[in-house]
Amino acid sequence: MKKHTGESIRIFKNPILESFTHVHPVVPLVLWTPVILFLLYRGATVKNVTTVQFGYLFVFGIVLWTITEYVLHRYVFHWNAKSRAGKYFVFLFHGLHHDDPQDPTRLVMPPVPAILIVSLLWALFGMIFPAQFLEVIMAFFLIGYLCYDYIHYATHHFPMTGKVGRYLRKYHLQHHYSGEASKYGVSSPLWDYVLKTVNGPKEEHH
């Protein structure tokens, strides 16, 4: 896999707006780690979540992330939009990455869309899950998100010589270069196997 050597694809003429589309890979870790620690602290001290419950919620939060990752990637970021506005949305959020998958400044989610998506999901989960457990679920959910972000970055920029790493890297790069509407899982292929999208038809649109 060749490294990115050219200039980034420009989205906005305004340099300030354009700067928001680029992000250093350490930014998600710096942004979300304090949030995660605060939510876990509140879960233990304010919500009185027990150690056993923490264990169950950890598994639940990570699994919840994997299905959310799959749904967003398959149905939102690969939405086959018909309108001009819809096509621009898809390009802005994900098509750009497919057009230039090796751009190192566009491999983790920029803070603005990340905060927006997390806020919407938090509101949705708040209508589903008990208030006592919501903050802990969100903490582990965000840990899953960080794992996804850095696995995604690694698949494009590191050799990933371990057995699991090699598998995930090959799996994700096949999503990019096989030409199939398939392999939407990045941090885990679980839901591709469950929903039978390990292989798929030829994809006309990114």
Query: pLDDT tens-digit profile of 127-161?
Result: 999 999 999 999 999 999 999 999 999 998 888 88
Residues 65 and 7: their CA atoms lie apart, in Å, by 33
Distance, in Å, from the CA atom of 143 to the CA atom of 139, rounded to the nearest integer, reads 6
58 pLDDT higher than 90: yes
pLDDT band at 1 (very low <50, low <70, confident <90, very high): very low
The one-letter amino acid code at 20 reads: F
Radius of gyration of the chain (CA): 18
Cβ atoms of 137 and 58 within 8 Å: the answer is no
pTM of the model: 0.88
Q: Does position 15 have pLDDT exceeding 50, yes or no? A: yes
pLDDT digits (tens, 9 = 90+) for 97-113: 777 777 777 678 888 88
Tell me the H-state helices in 46-186.
Answer: 51-71, 84-90, 96-99, 111-126, 131-157, 163-177
C-alpha distances (whole Å) from 115 to each of 3, 15, 35, 152, 153 are: 29, 21, 11, 19, 19
User: What band does 71 get if pLDDT is binned at 50, 70 and 90?
Assistant: very high
